[in-house]
Amino acid sequence: MLMPEMSEETEGERVAISARGSLLQVLREDGTLDPDKNPDIEDLDLLRAFRQMVETRFLDERLTRLQRQGRIGFHVGCLGEEAAIIGSALALQTEDWIFPCYREFGAALLRGMPYQSFIDNLYGNANDTAKGRQMPDHYTCRDAHWVSISSPVGTQINQATGFAWASKLKGETAVTLVYFGDGATSSNDFHSGLNFAGVFKAPVVFLCRNNGWAISVPYESQTASPTIAHKGQAYGVHAVRVDGNDLFAVYRAVRDAADRARAGHGPTLVEALTYRMGGHSTSDDPGAYRDAHELEPWQQRDPVERVRHYLMDHDMWTAADDAALDAELEKRFLAAVEAAENTPQPEVDTMFDDVYEKLPWHLREQREQVRRGRRPFKGGG
């Protein structure tokens, strides 16, 4: 179990800190920033990131309610992991690309994915960019340089590595960031992806959200390595460990990793230590495999509250701002849900789109048969 106390003297650390390596932290316990590590985030960017963290948590709560009401089928939340997700996305440039896992919708919204498009994907309606073919929370947005989510564990790691290598071969300066959890580090794709990236110095940032659990499998049962970062070092990949509940530290680690990649120095593995406060998804009951008391110390390191306190201490945020943001988020959410629920399902013949540049004759025939046949229940695919 990952312990929230990050000092080197913490007796309850799962593995001796000397074996695990140093941990990058910027936001100190007293709410100040370490001047030697401060990444100097612009005030407007910091406020934008904080608002996105709050909105991400708001959406987690509201979307879970929708799923419990039977209005959407599924949701994958990120309660407690907002700093690792938003801080990393904030550190990238517009030209960079992201290969997500399925927990990073806040990063997609931060990078410009339209809010309504996200809600439409949850419903799989006619305006869903995936045309209802994917599960909810499997969105894509080319304009935001956000690649479609791949459900099987770890497959996005190889995809991101290949994309980054192609970018390097073309002489581009774009960097690729790929998200995954600690469970994915046991996949074949993790090992082949890091090995390839290390050999060919692909400009990719591997960001592991080490949140303590791979669904119900604890970190201790996942690997005998002292840290995830050690796995990067084994492949000749530069690796860093960072407090994943510290927005400033995550931003610093990913910005530095992206700068290294852009300068031709190859990939970096960033291990962000955080904790999954909720279930793996709305289909999961974490109470079946972990004790509730394990959450208590991590609640003291709530990533949203840490940034809120910093902003308030620096006269950049007030309780009135909180109230105004809550009202804004509620209004936008209700309007988007109403629009999504009033949008019809995709036409069934859209199943033939987006596969071939030119549709083969036998599929054209099948499409015509579908158009003439009886429609499925509710008229959708």
pLDDT bin (cut points 50, 70, 90) of residue 9 is very low
Catalytic residues: 276, 280, 289
Helices (H), 226-317: 229-234, 247-262, 296-299, 303-313
What would the mean pLDDT of 16-38 be, rounded to a whole number?
Answer: 80
- Does residue 271 carry a pLDDT above 90? yes
Classified as helix, coil or strand, 380 is coil
SS3 readout for 43-99? HHHHHHHHHHHHHHHHHHHHHHHHHHCCCCCCCCCCCCCHHHHHHHHHCCCCCCEEE
C-alpha 44/C-alpha 284 separation (Å) is 37
Q: What is the pTM of this model?
A: 0.91
What would the mean pLDDT of 157-171 be, rounded to a whole number?
Answer: 97
Mean pLDDT of the chain: 92
- Does residue 380 carry a pLDDT above 90? no
* Spans of all domains in the chain: 18-345, 349-379
18-345 CATH pick, 3.40.50.970, 3.40.50.720, 1.20.1070.10, 3.40.50.20: 3.40.50.970
Phi, psi torsion values for 90, nearest 5 degrees? -65, -30
Predicted confidence at residue 7, as pLDDT, reads 42
pLDDT bin (cut points 50, 70, 90) of residue 151 is confident
- Does residue 14 carry a pLDDT above 80? no
pLDDT bin (cut points 50, 70, 90) of residue 374 is low
What would the mean pLDDT of 100-104 be, rounded to a whole number?
Answer: 93
Specify whether the CB–CB gap between 56 and 254 falls below 8 A. no
